[in-house]
Amino acid sequence: MTQRRKFLKQVAGASVTLPFLRATKLTSSKSKSYPLPIILCSRGENWGNKLLPVAWDKMHETGNILDAIEVGANVPELDPDDASVGYGGLPNEHGIVTLDASIMHGPTHNCGSVASMEKIKKACSVARLVMERTDHMMIVGEGATDFARAHGFPEENLLTDRSRRVWLKWKENMSDHDDWLPPADGDYGLEKRPRGTINVLGVDSKGDVAGITTTSGLFGKLSGRVGDSPIIGAGLYVDNAVGAAGATGRGEEVIRTCGSFLAVEYMRNGMTPQEACEAVVKRIVDINGGIDNVDFNDKIVALSKSGEVGCASIMGSKEGPPQIAFVTKDGVEVVNGTWLKEWS
């Protein structure tokens, strides 16, 4: 196999000094190393408890960090109740679910991704095959579905009835000047256009690092829109000498800041994962002209090679602080990150 292309870029520090809101655990000035191996996901208790034990068991079964994070990320991908990842994800403007996912392996610096892929539930597993079974890094659209089919993935309808109803309500309420009419009592509980995603990052007992990001992307997106999740350096970045970072939230902002790459480079230059996550969030806010101009959310999570964790977002969640969960030999732990303003 030919050598994968590498790139390195030094970045300047963020210039704004917004005060971060803090809950309990994570502070930027000190950092605790948790024992290796460690697997982290960008969600709190509920999803942490669902997927991290599965990933942990797999790591002990095969000893391979890629296997572990893959089966962990497959949990929300296969779960119809998660409306932002895989099966059951909210669709694009035409009511079609399209998935974006990426994977990166620290020891080899290899990566793979799929974008705008239809009909295949386990997008991160297809991304892994792009990494391991092709000399490419990214396959999109019909080509990604063809590639998945060639590797034995079944083609399935990813649109659940719940997601279809949410899409229909959105469509029916888009405009007073079209012919789509909402029912008199239609209420599907949709408050905002969700763009949930999940990052699963891990370090094995040898200190080798890997990461995955997987999503169905922005609800109601234009057909063909690709977010940050499958773009290496944006929604995910891993460097085996440093650690890993992943992003969720408004992908357009993460793409134009190279958010995950930036977090890893900040860590390389001496920041803790928490400081790095906060600096990327500040960078995003800064390029938008300050917090008062920002009406979207982005969340950055990071894990260092030595087992330190970080999490920061622009907004808190409806429930409070942004959270991450991770598993070590001591079990699943949930910690709060920092955030700049309350959920709105």
Active site residues per annotation: 197
**Applying CB under 6 A, does 251 fall inside the site for ligand GLY?**
yes
**Position 217 contacts ligand GLY (CB under 6 A):** yes
| Using rule CB under 6 A, residue 230 touches ligand GLY | no
CB 82 within 8 A of CB 89: yes
Q: Does 76 bind ligand GLY (CB under 6 A)?
A: no
Least Cβ distance, residue 47 to ligand GLY (angstroms): 16
**What mask of x and - would describe binding to ligand GLY in positions 261 to 300, judged by CB under 6 A?**
----------------------------------------
Q: Give CA angle at 233 (63, 286), nearest 5°.
A: 130
229 scored as a contact of ligand GLY (CB under 6 A): yes
Under the binding rule (CB under 6 A), the answer on residue 307 touching ligand GLY is no
**For ligand GLY, the closer CB: 229 or 272:** 229
Question: 251 or 307, CB closer to ligand GLY?
Answer: 251
- Cα–Cα dist 152/164, whole Å: 27
> Quick one: which of 28, 145, 160, 215 contacts ligand GLY (CB under 6 A)?
215
**Beta-carbon count within 10 A of 300 CB:** 33
Q: Tell me whether residue 42 or residue 304 sits nearer to ligand GLY (CB atom).
A: 42
H or E stretch at 310: strand 309-315
Nearest by Cα to 113 from 278, 224, 31, 227: 227
The tokens describing 53, both together, are: 């034990």
Encoding tokens for residue 323?
Answer: 């959270």
Q: Which DSSP string do the residues of 235-288 spell out, in sequence order?
A: TEEEETTTEEEEEEE-HHHHHHHTHHHHHHHHHHTT--HHHHHHHHHHHHHHHT
Binding of residue 239 to ligand GLY (CB under 6 A): no
121 versus 250: smaller Cβ distance to ligand GLY: 250
Q: To 10 degrees, what angle do helices 123-133 and 65-78 make?
A: 150
What's the min distance (Å) between Cβ of 250 and ligand GLY? 6
The residue from 218, 271, 285, 312 that contacts ligand GLY (CB under 6 A) is 218
**Binder of ligand GLY out of 98, 110, 197, 338 (CB under 6 A):** 197
Q: What is the CA radius of gyration of the chain?
A: 19
Structure-block tokens of residue 307? 């087992």
Q: Are the beta carbons of 34 and 307 closer than 8 angstroms?
A: yes
Question: Where do contacts with ligand GLY occur on this chain (CB under 6 A)?
Answer: 195, 197, 215, 217-218, 227-229, 248-251
